Structure 1
Amino acid sequence: MKAPRFYLDAHLPEPDYTRPFLKVPADKKKRILEKLTFLYGKEKAEEWYPEVERIMRVYYAHKTPEMLENDAAFDPTQRFTEKDSILITYGDLITGGKEKPLGILRSILEERAKFITTVHLLPFFPSSSDRGFSIVSYFSVDPNLGTWEDIEELAKDFRLMFDGVINHVSSKSKWFQEFLNGNPYYRDFFTQVSSVTDLDAESLKRILRPRTTPLLTEFEAIDGPRYIWTTFGPDQVDLNYRNVNVLLRVLDVLLFYVRRGADIIRLDAVTYLWEEIGTASVHMEQTHQIIQLFRLILDVVAPEVALLTETNVPHKDNIKYFGDGTNEAQLVYNFALPPLVLHTFYTENCRKMSRWASTLGLISDTATYFNFLDSHDGVGLMAVEDILSKRDIGNLMRETLENGGMVSYRLDERGNYRPYELNIAWYSAINGVENNESLDTQIDRFIASRSIHMVLLGIPGSYLPSVIGTENDVEAVLRTGQKRDINRRTFDVDALRKLLEDKSSRAHRILARLSRLWGVRVHCPAFHPQGKQDVVMRNDDVFSVIRTSPDGKQKILALTNVTNQTRHFRLERDDVDYWPRASENLLTGEVARVGGKSVDFELKPYEVQWQLFLDE
């Protein structure tokens, strides 16, 4: 379905300075200055605030009169509704023919992805490594993918999410090359130490690492060797936010993305933004202040744009990126969900997932969770370190290996290897690689697992390869040596179209089943991200959650049988604050009378039921 875009037209190609300039409200200016003061001190904050405001004014001058009218009428509580869903994809997962990949992607989405409102277009900029996340130029589209015009065409039908890869840039980028060349402006653009001995063993142990590569990388500069902080690898050099010019240039980048059509900006790896020797260099208060500063600025000049933080860390730390619910990210990845869903289906027991889900309450009327199951990365494990036992996590690793996947590791504070993520395609993770079960059973199990993120509080997101049930791409891993490529399968557009036209194919059947669920969901205000969520823990083999629309007028009992056996679920009158006279299974149309003090529902193996409560 086409997204209800906040802006129907593109920004002006050039700023219009004939109109009144932006006037930053006094309260917003005060708060922006407070953030700058926290980061750089009062003197520098007052010195550099005019430059911040100048950048805001330049962006503002690119807005059309219609945009300014929409800003005034924008209701942030309705930024996301039950109609929203996000598709995660690289720009070149589908190729072939004469058209560039971005054009092909748009055509396929128009043909087959009727349920999508937002496309998360993974980094489409020139890059030197890490599948796009080592950016050479923030302001260009990789010509192998297409052009900015292709991005604008995609934005006509979908809201867009861009990646703000602002923790690091490529070592091949102009910024870093100017640093190596001794350009004074770039002298302090990157986090560095004068020698490797500046970072002693104790300090190194304290730093939380998402990788096993060395933290420091030596580069030869015009005036000698430089030892640069490289959190994610030797080609990805960390930006130094102690330098206010870095903050200003990144602000330029983010507002440029908004001009180019970004409705959501995903702050990649933002938890590592501020480094400080002697600390873990994660979750630093300076990092939170920077995110809050970005939020403040966007609220003034582009209130319709949301921030999504990508912080693959323990759940209790992850949700801190909501701030107070109104001042930091509007969306936070629900990183605990994917491993908990896998644990649930491996054990055929939803108890631990239900307990965790029962802790997910409304954040605020403008913030919510981004519920996803898989993506271009692996299934992260850090989020469940305080939720699942070591034995549970070990079982996830064992199942992954048995199902043809791999495990990636990180270094802990003692220098030991710790499991970081599971690298596996979701279909292979759920069904294995040598499964003698019928295709019907495998698809039922797959759909049941995918349905979980559709019913939980938040906005659901799907990864393109999974909406057609793609299996492990082991050949890609052998070709590139990158474990994550196991779940980054690419498709020839003609072959994909032929596959999806074959009604007997697994891909067609899965997409049709998922589309059916999405088609029902968009008409259910109970699934609004601001709708109440109540988890019912009656038995361990049926995951059950009651969702209530924000106005209280609609209630849906979502049931998922997580086992390969027929199961019964009993809803007791004490489980709900409203007892219906009947219920309708929205997925089949069957209506059942409800009487007495309880009602029983029978679920076939891996069956999903969405029971709408009826008054009569």
Structure 2
Amino acid sequence: MLSIFEQLQERVNHHLQVIYAEIELPDSFEELTQQLLVTMNIDHSDKVQVPLRHHNNWDQQDVMLITYGDSIEQTDQKPLQTLHHFLQEYCLDIINSVHILPFFPYSSDDGFSVIDYSSVNEALGNWDDISALCSDFRLMSDVVINHCSARSAWFNNFIKGEGPGSDFFFTASPLEDTSEVVRPRTSDLLRLTETANGEKYVWCTFSHDQVDFDFRNPKVLLAFASIIKQYLDVGIRVFRLDAVAFLWKKQGTSCINLEETHEAIRLFRTLIEHTVADAVIITETNIPNRQNLTYFGNANEAHGIYNFSLPPLLVNTLVTGSCRHLKAWLGSMPPAQNGTFFFNFIASHDGLGLRPAEGLLNDGELSALVNTMQNFGGRISWRKAENGGQKAYEINIALYDALQGTVKGQDKWGLERFICAHAIMFGLEGIPGLYIHSLLGTNNDYEKVRNTSHNRSINRHKWDYKKLKEALDSPYSQHSKVLKRMSHLLAVRKKQAAFHPNATQFTLQLGDQVFGFWRQSLDRRQSIFCIYNISDQEQVIRLSDINLIGTDSWVDLLSEQTICHEDIELLLTPYRAVWISNINQPH
């Protein structure tokens, strides 16, 4: 019988054989396996941790705040320290995990064009600040794995033709047919670069400052194994693989979602969780829903996947007053196996992605959503369509402003609609990711858009901590109201076993103006009926429609209102949310 270490060797070797099946390597698979295990410091049995298959290293208390390292700034203090103080003062009881968007030196794209993966951006702080955050929160770090900055030392060595990185980048001939390549930008795919070895055309999926790696070279794989090991040593336990769907390129294909990419993720999972058993991988794949689901593999690939279809469907639901599409999508979603989870979010540093809504909303509905968001100050980012034209790729807007009205225009229900959106997300199967500007009710930042000329800047406001504290300490400010309401939702949520990320979920059929689903705890003791009026009109539901068991006592966890069996109907004011449970957890 093989030892634990021998089993690990065999598994890594298999991953490599699949990834490099069509590549002639300078070293044998056995040698490359050993190099990877040495890099991860798991080259002996007593160093190898054994992850439990189909084990959930998370529960209903897990909520992740998404933020830039400098979303909150204070004079004479590094932003990472200011962020830590904010989290300790306002979030300790409601947030246990934090995703700090790329905190490395960078040249563009607000951090996603990394110059040096091994350093913390000096303008933000240092590794001690990251370690301090890791001591209080479970920290998620980006691994910007598809590309790096054209100003990196690696790319400079590529230009010089010598040194580390000189053979790290993917090149192609402009004569090759790249018409099948799928990418989210309209810029030229290939960047002409003068090098010591002549003219090279470097592949750039995103921008010409973001040059794509060539994972056909195993040195690139080893470099990222070393980077991940450094992050693990600092205390980081969750890894967001950014833009990973584009990792492997192959002539004559779409260069997205290729099998080599999936196998590379399986390899990284094997390496990471045998180094630290409860470490987690989340894949960031902003693609149509069915393709996105494939990144779970057979519970052997990503632990978590971004639920990219949720944001456009949920916003569309609340601005149209109809949950028909959201209900159909939710009813069709497979449950995540134990050992995997959906990462739910409705706002992020990017925007409202529209590709994940393709096939779920028709062109007319997408156009109506785009027009409505533009009426609320949103900007539109475009991509090349299959016919050579342009198609809306994402809507850039602060979520608070996005929900200030409906397709009919702005109204008085903005705050209630905004809270309803989060009450829906917090109840769904999966782990919620809450963008800091949603927690704070931040508005569109038009000035930043003017200063940067980038649409995404509209939802990347930087708060002065003193002004933020003044706003949060004023009970009448929208920011204070939002934080208070969000904190209440999260305080209730984290106490409910039925909100475990892998607890049972069943979609309810309550008409188009009332959205609902049922959750049941893993031990089947607790049931919660999550019901939401997603319209601007009062709605009435019959309690018989949700089949409350007569022998149990029922209570709305959010209002603490007892639900009597003698009551025939429940009145829902516009955008009211109720979580009706047979167990009232004190909070």
Structure-2 change in CA distance of 1:431 and 1:57 (3 Å): same
How much does 1:304 deviate?
1.0
Which aligned pairs between 1:489-500 and structure 2 lie closer than 5 A?
489-500=461-472
Kept in 2: contact 1:338–1:374 (CA 8 A): yes
Q: Paired residue for 1:89, among 62, 67, 73?
A: 67
Deviations 1:485-517 (A, max 9, x none): 000011101011111000111100110000000
SS of equivalent to 1:297: helix
CA distance in 2, matches of 1:382, 1:372: 16
How much does 1:48 deviate?
4.4
Alignment correspondent of 1:123: 102
Structure-2 change in CA distance of 1:460 and 1:261 (3 Å): same
Q: Paired residue for 2:34, among 53, 61, 72?
A: 53
SS of equivalent to 1:237: strand
How much does 1:568 deviate?
1.1
Q: Paired residue for 1:192, among 155, 167, 171?
A: 171
CA distance in 1, matches of 2:306, 2:34: 30
Alignment correspondent of 1:77: 55
How much does 1:435 deviate?
7.5
How much does 1:286 deviate?
0.4
CA distance in 1, matches of 2:251, 2:512: 46
Deviations 1:103-129 (A, max 9, x none): 000000111113111100000000011
Q: Is 1:601 aligned to residue 581 of structure 2?
A: no
What is the letter of the counterpart of residue 53 of structure 1?
Q
CA distance in 1, matches of 2:140, 2:339: 18
What is the letter of the counterpart of residue 96 of structure 1?
Q
Alignment correspondent of 1:446: 418
CA distance in 2, matches of 1:327, 1:399: 40
Structure-2 change in CA distance of 1:293 and 1:470 (3 Å): same
Backbone CA RMSD of aligned residues: 2.4
Q: Paired residue for 1:162, among 130, 141, 145?
A: 141
CA distance in 2, matches of 1:314, 1:50: 38
Q: Paired residue for 2:560, among 589, 598, 607?
A: 589
CA distance in 1, matches of 2:319, 2:498: 29
How much does 1:62 deviate?
12
CA distance in 1, matches of 2:551, 2:574: 26
Deviations 1:460-480 (A, max 9, x none): 011001111111111111110
CA distance in 1, matches of 2:431, 2:463: 27
How much does 1:543 deviate?
0.9
CA distance in 1, matches of 2:216, 2:41: 27
Alignment correspondent of 1:25: 5
How much does 1:55 deviate?
4.1
Alignment correspondent of 1:17: none
Deviations 1:155-183 (A, max 9, x none): 11100000000100111111111111111
Alignment correspondent of 1:209: 183
Alignment correspondent of 1:104: 82
What is the letter of the counterpart of residue 211 of structure 2?
V
How much does 1:49 deviate?
3.6
Which aligned pairs between 1:157-556 and structure 2 lie closer than 5 A?
157-183=136-162, 186-193=165-172, 195-197=173-175, 199=176, 203-324=177-298, 326-431=299-404, 437-438=411-412, 441-556=413-528
SS of equivalent to 1:120: strand
Q: Is 1:37 aligned to residue 17 of structure 2?
A: yes
How much does 1:52 deviate?
3.8
* Higher mean C-alpha deviation, range 37-46 or range 379-388: 37-46
SS of equivalent to 1:30: helix
Deviations 1:250-293 (A, max 9, x none): 11111211112211100000000011121111010000010011
CA distance in 1, matches of 2:220, 2:551: 58
What is the letter of the counterpart of residue 590 of structure 1?
Q
CA distance in 1, matches of 2:548, 2:59: 24
Structure-2 change in CA distance of 1:529 and 1:614 (3 Å): closer
Alignment correspondent of 1:136: 115
Deviations 1:187-223 (A, max 9, x none): 4311102x422x2xxx322111200111000111112
Deviations 1:91-146 (A, max 9, x none): 00111221100000000011111311110000000001110000000000000000
Kept in 2: contact 1:36–1:45 (CA 8 A): no
SS of equivalent to 1:391: helix
What is the letter of the counterpart of residue 581 of structure 2?
L
Kept in 1: contact 2:51–2:273 (CA 8 A): no
Structure-2 change in CA distance of 1:292 and 1:178 (3 Å): same
- Name structure 1 gaps, 5 residues minimum: 1-22
CA distance in 1, matches of 2:353, 2:572: 31
CA distance in 1, matches of 2:43, 2:266: 24
Kept in 1: contact 2:140–2:237 (CA 8 A): yes
CA distance in 1, matches of 2:167, 2:76: 45
How much does 1:558 deviate?
0.7
What is the letter of the counterpart of residue 558 of structure 1?
C
* Higher mean C-alpha deviation, range 579-588 or range 492-501: 579-588
SS of equivalent to 2:95: coil
Kept in 1: contact 2:154–2:166 (CA 8 A): no
SS of equivalent to 2:225: helix
Deviations 1:24-53 (A, max 9, x none): 533332221111112224984972444443
SS of equivalent to 2:350: coil
What is the letter of the counterpart of residue 105 of structure 1?
L
Structure-2 change in CA distance of 1:518 and 1:314 (3 Å): same
SS of equivalent to 1:78: coil
CA distance in 1, matches of 2:138, 2:165: 35
CA distance in 2, matches of 1:613, 1:95: 44
How much does 1:419 deviate?
1.0
Kept in 1: contact 2:440–2:483 (CA 8 A): yes
Structure-2 change in CA distance of 1:290 and 1:579 (3 Å): farther
Tell me the TM-score normalised to structure 1 length: 0.90
Kept in 1: contact 2:192–2:201 (CA 8 A): yes
CA distance in 1, matches of 2:24, 2:6: 19
Structure-2 change in CA distance of 1:554 and 1:31 (3 Å): same
How many pairs are equivalent? 578
What is the letter of the counterpart of residue 338 of structure 1?
P
Kept in 1: contact 2:39–2:229 (CA 8 A): no
Structure-2 change in CA distance of 1:584 and 1:577 (3 Å): closer
Q: Paired residue for 2:126, among 139, 142, 147?
A: 147
CA distance in 2, matches of 1:436, 1:398: 13
SS of equivalent to 1:447: helix
How much does 1:454 deviate?
0.5
Q: Is 1:565 aligned to residue 537 of structure 2?
A: yes
Deviations 1:57-86 (A, max 9, x none): 4544799x9xx79x5697863311000000
